[in-house]
Structure 1
Amino acid sequence: MSVRRSTRHSIKECVEVSDDDIENYCINTPRRRTSSNMLKKASMSEHRTPVSNKKRQTKDYENEQTQSLDVSPPKQPKFTKSPESLFSPSRLIERLSIEDEDEEESEEYKNIAVVEAPKAINKYHNASKVLSSGETNILPGREKEFAELEQFLNQHIENETSGSLYVSGQPGTGKTACISKLLKCEKFSQKLNKVYINCTSISTVASIYKKIKTELKIKSAGKTEKESLAAIEKYLKSNHKQILLVLDEIDQLCNSKQSVLYTIFEWPSKTHHKIILIGIANSLDLVDRLLVRLNAKCNLRPKLMNFSSYSKQQIIDIFKSRLEEANVIDIFPPATIQLLAGKVASISGDIRRALDIGRRVIEMADRDGKTDINIKDLDLANATPNENESSKKIIPDDNKEKNKPVQVRQVASVLNNVYGTSQTLNNDSDYNFPLQQKILLCSLLLMLRKCKNKDITVGRLHDVYRRVCAKRNIQSVDQAEFASLCSLVDTRGIIRLIAKKEPRLSKITLQWDQTEVTDALKDKQLIATILDDDSCLGGR
């Protein structure tokens, strides 16, 4: 047995490794040099080599060491370019030339640039924006009502007592705006646990309990309506912060027995509940008509507060305050505001409708201004070169065209399109209601006059509408088209459509007076025949 073979057997017996590992070890080990052997070789050669060849040998040694060592190269330091190196030579020359210029001359150029390119201000856009804002801290014409609400809350907070208040008024009279401003007061935020719920957002009447429980952050395992009511009443009996519960559109909670409304209005009458209830609705007689049992006991009857419609002067003050806030009061001359406010105050006194008409007037004035500018540009393009040069000096700036005040004819045109009544301001206007809208409104008047149940939905109205059309051999529209038809009438402000998840359950209320609707329809024969036909109501 040779020496190599015996060595391999001895290694294999002692270390107990595989043949492949031993073979790789024997092959690779002689080729690998350590840094210590190379240093020794370099030091020995240094004594035998002349000084002139020392640099060359050192360089060869460094190359050999780099190739022989099986390690990763060291991490190189990051090299950050100086800001000057990021520019090209031409760019550097430009920078030098700018810095060498006269400082006074550069300041003069800056001032000239500012004067030559002023920022254009479109006052039409600002006026439309300020007239579309729903909430504002300034409420002209509602100072008395706001002070009364504030006094009501302060009284119950100081005495730590419960109470209830019912706020009524037609749409657009500032009910929700006043209470929203009251909820933002910091002094009430510290003392009250405020909860605001719009009842039109709930799917069913009894689901209001789940909504109140969620807003009060009451933790309970029950998910049903009865369990939610039990959790609320248990919370009210415990030691808690005084609660301010505001229920907007509370008439949406009406049902056959009014059990939900009775339950909610009874909470403030119970001891140790510490809750202040404010209900908001349009009907003035909701408490007297639907909640008769509350009148039997004095401690259950809520305090009543009514918001009257806005007068002409109040609408004028609201317009002026909003336009002055945006510094665009010159857009609406006094004559145009008086015309708009007088028309809206005589019909409904709805400030939301007045603001909507103001935005439409702004849009019309903006379109008319752009049309005038385009016509002038077209005339300039067709003019001769000499005429073109002279006309450029005469035409005013575009900003002046955009800021041109609205005119009385524009306000009158929008009012006629919105209302379209017999009291139109333009005698040449022959606007008439479409036949389908006439039948819809006549069917609504029939239900309001002859039906005992005044709670009218889109589904009930569509049933009566189909019977009216069938008796007169008029083709009726289906449910989906009828819902769109109701939306069109709603945009005119004649009716109010309270949308629900299912369109058939959406509620409809008449915003105009019935006599005003009959005058607007201008078809007394059709109205008389429909209103006298009780058979179209079916089972009522």
Structure 2
Amino acid sequence: MAPINSEENTKRQLSKIPHDLSDDELADAEPSWQWIYNSTPTTERSDGTQSDRKRRKVTGDRIVGARIGQFECRIGDTVMLKADGSNEAWIALICEFVEDDGEGEKAANFMWFSSEKEIRSRDKKRSDYYPNELYISPSWDINPLASINGKAKIMSQDGFLAKYPQGKVPRNDPDFGRGSVAATPTSRRSQATPGSRVKRSASKRLEFTPLATRKLSPSQVESSPFQIARSRLHVSSVPASLPCREGEFSLVYSHLEAAISDGTGKTATVREVVSRLEEAVGSDELDDFIFVEINGMKITDPHQSYTLLWEALKGERASPAQALDHLEREFSNPSPRRIPCVVLMDELDQLVTKNQAVMYNFFNWPTLRHSRLIVLAVANTMDLPERTLSNKISSRLGLTRITFPGYNHEQLMKIIQSRLEGVPGNIVDPDAIQFASRKVAAVSGDARRALDICRRAVELAEADAPSDPATPSKRDSQTQPKGSGRVTIATIKKAINEATTNPIQQHLRSLPLMSKLVMAALLLRIRRTGLAETTFGDTLDEIHRACLRAPAALPGVAAVLNNGLKGTQMGSQRPMTRPGHIHTAALELVAAGLINLEAQRAERSSKLRLSIADDEVKMALRDDGDLKALGIGV
């Protein structure tokens, strides 16, 4: 029999055996199963009472079979297990019986048979299988006896052909849907080759010669130290290892390895861990697994995560509602699927819905018996479960939490230096690396921003470096000043000024006070809750708290803010109230594309979120004198 390829590292679709559920042997059987012991006569019944269990302890009787009504199965029998929702069934071999499966049900340990859909040769579908052929697999699973749907017949190829010379089981035969061949083919099926002929074209021949595709050689791409440094300092460049995350890496690796192994129940680090685990699978050091990444920022609706997970498991596209229904059946019913699925839920705060059904399902499925699902959630706030999630979801979260603090300047220096290792010419000064690291660590500790600043500094140094023309000229050398061609502290300062003086930040600095207050309050609210979305009323509350904290030296500012919040009178003769200045400022920010406001109406219940990155607001308003005078720090 053909063994399962242990090096398979691709998604495998489950295969089932066609079976008419109307021909169920257990359809009219009694509702309870009864054990058969090795000393129990065929006509004697055992109902599993306490006296039988005591007799079993005393006499040492072993369970060798089970009976329900007229149906009887024993160890070594091949049976069909129900596949819920379809006229198909799984085929398995009974290895042993279990008196209690942990849920109070009588169960058995089954060894599964697989069809050609599950067996692949070098990551390709097998083409050397016979009709009705099954492959015995080294996969075992404990399932309740209630899932048994009848007996199946497994026979050799010779026996199958002797009984059915046509190679097919007639539909009127009682064994239709129950008989399968268990044999290993000796040769592959010959592949048909289509006939070759000259393809005639009715169109006119081309009267010009198309240009060949231009390709850049590695020597042209990395022909100078500046180009090498720029490519290695790019955020998308994948380093050989992740420095300054060794502790977090080992924690994630150990927990994932324990979860993937059979019998046991921040984004770059998780991806690196998964790649290392896939290498271990390729070298037969770890069981195979499926990895799927769901990013809350890349999907328009949180319910689309159901579609992504179902496509990763089966390779089939489905609507979110259909995928949810399929996933519920997949994780709730027994099946021979032994490949665990690791789901990385990045930007978890973006997947929070009103009733939190999406997150509840994803954290509830791993607790089901047949799910074999492992969920890793990545969020920007450590206490997101306590802040946002309900108790029914928080109780289903695992006890393992790994904190990823922001990088300090020493770690940022190590990261940048590791990227620049091997770059010839020593074009970056160590003091420049330290200066850039300290500047970024004081703001956010984001390694991506530090790499972007250093990369831009290398570009500036490359532009200032003296060129080497093919035909040197004394006149050019006398008129054009030569640059140093090195990244210094002055180069880093210039790069930081460019990064902090982009058009968005320039516009943010030129905003009036009310608009700055809205942006600062929205940023503070996002940090307080850990969610990217809030309401306009909560933002007004943040501004009101800022008014209460206004220094006594600025009595007029607090009054202006209160007038902006509550609205002012349009004169004593016409006592009509107009919208407050804060509302007007919010609508102006929406028109500028800086924030998103639900229905573009400044009401307390309207949803509000930033349209730009948080760091842009922080870099633009952190040194704002008006906000500092009010005691507001971003």
Number of corresponding residues: 353
Counterparts of 1:278-427 in structure 2, within 5 Å, are 278-294=376-392, 297=395, 300-325=397-422, 327-328=423-424, 330-369=426-465, 380=475, 404-419=485-500
Q: Is the 8 A contact 1:205 1:253 kept in 2?
A: yes
Q: Match of 2:293, SS?
A: strand
In the alignment, which residue of structure 2 is the partner of 1:122? 224
Q: Is the 8 A contact 1:347 1:512 kept in 2?
A: no
In the alignment, which residue of structure 1 is the partner of 2:556? none
Offset at residue 442 of structure 1 (A): 2.0
Offset at residue 320 of structure 1 (A): 1.2
Q: Higher RCO, 1 or 2 (CA under 8 Å, sep at least 6)?
A: 1
> Residue type matched to 1:271 in 2?
R
Q: Is the 8 A contact 1:199 1:247 kept in 2?
A: yes
In the alignment, which residue of structure 2 is the partner of 1:101? none
Q: What is the rounded CA distance, in whole Å, between the counterparts of 2:367 and 2:582 in structure 1? A: 55
In the alignment, which residue of structure 2 is the partner of 1:234? 329
Q: What is the rounded CA distance, in whole Å, between the counterparts of 2:585 and 2:386 in structure 1? A: 42
Q: Is the 8 A contact 2:432 2:487 kept in 1?
A: yes
Q: Match of 2:402, SS?
A: strand
In the alignment, which residue of structure 2 is the partner of 1:442? 517
Distance 1:278 1:507, change over 3 A: farther
Structure with greater Cα Rg: 1
Q: What is the rounded CA distance, in whole Å, between the counterparts of 1:478 and 1:119 in structure 2? A: 46
CA deviation digits over 1:64-117, x for unaligned, max 9? xxxxxxxxxxxxxxxxxxxxxxxxxxxxxxxxxxxxxxxxxxxxxxxxxxxxxx
- Pair 1:197-2:294 in alignment: yes
Q: Is the 8 A contact 1:340 1:354 kept in 2?
A: yes
Q: Is the 8 A contact 1:124 1:403 kept in 2?
A: no
Offset at residue 346 of structure 1 (A): 1.9
In the alignment, which residue of structure 1 is the partner of 2:368? 270
Q: What is the rounded CA distance, in whole Å, between the counterparts of 2:352 and 2:416 in structure 1? A: 36
Q: Which segments of 5 or more consecutive residues in structure 1 lack a partner in the other structure?
A: 1-117, 163-174, 382-387, 421-430, 488-502, 532-540
Q: What is the rounded CA distance, in whole Å, between the counterparts of 1:522 and 1:187 in structure 2? A: 55
Q: Is the 8 A contact 2:352 2:358 kept in 1?
A: yes
Q: What is the rounded CA distance, in whole Å, between the counterparts of 1:265 and 1:120 in structure 2? A: 47
Offset at residue 289 of structure 1 (A): 1.6
- Pair 1:471-2:581 in alignment: yes
- Pair 1:252-2:350 in alignment: yes
Q: Which segments of 5 or more consecutive residues in structure 2 lack a partner in the other structure?
A: 1-219, 544-563, 566-578, 597-606
Counterparts of 1:2-81 in structure 2, within 5 Å, are none
Q: What is the rounded CA distance, in whole Å, between the counterparts of 1:279 and 1:252 in structure 2? A: 12
Q: Match of 1:239, SS?
A: coil
Q: What is the rounded CA distance, in whole Å, between the counterparts of 2:536 and 2:582 in structure 1? A: 19
Offset at residue 332 of structure 1 (A): 0.8
> Residue type matched to 2:269 in 1?
C
Q: Is the 8 A contact 1:127 1:323 kept in 2?
A: yes
In the alignment, which residue of structure 1 is the partner of 2:304? 207
Q: What is the rounded CA distance, in whole Å, between the counterparts of 1:521 and 1:351 in structure 2? A: 25
Q: Is the 8 A contact 2:464 2:484 kept in 1?
A: no
CA deviation digits over 1:18-52, x for unaligned, max 9? xxxxxxxxxxxxxxxxxxxxxxxxxxxxxxxxxxx
Distance 1:276 1:416, change over 3 A: same
Q: What is the rounded CA distance, in whole Å, between the counterparts of 1:158 and 1:300 in structure 2? A: 20
Offset at residue 321 of structure 1 (A): 1.1
Deviates more, 1:335-344 or 1:232-241: 232-241
Q: What is the rounded CA distance, in whole Å, between the counterparts of 1:445 and 1:260 in structure 2? A: 31
Offset at residue 132 of structure 1 (A): 0.5
> Residue type matched to 2:416 in 1?
F
Q: CA RMSD of the aligned region, Å?
A: 4.5
Q: Is the 8 A contact 1:243 1:276 kept in 2?
A: yes
Offset at residue 179 of structure 1 (A): 1.3
Q: Match of 1:305, SS?
A: coil
In the alignment, which residue of structure 1 is the partner of 2:257? 154
- Pair 1:182-2:273 in alignment: yes
> Residue type matched to 1:184 in 2?
S
> Residue type matched to 1:414 in 2?
A
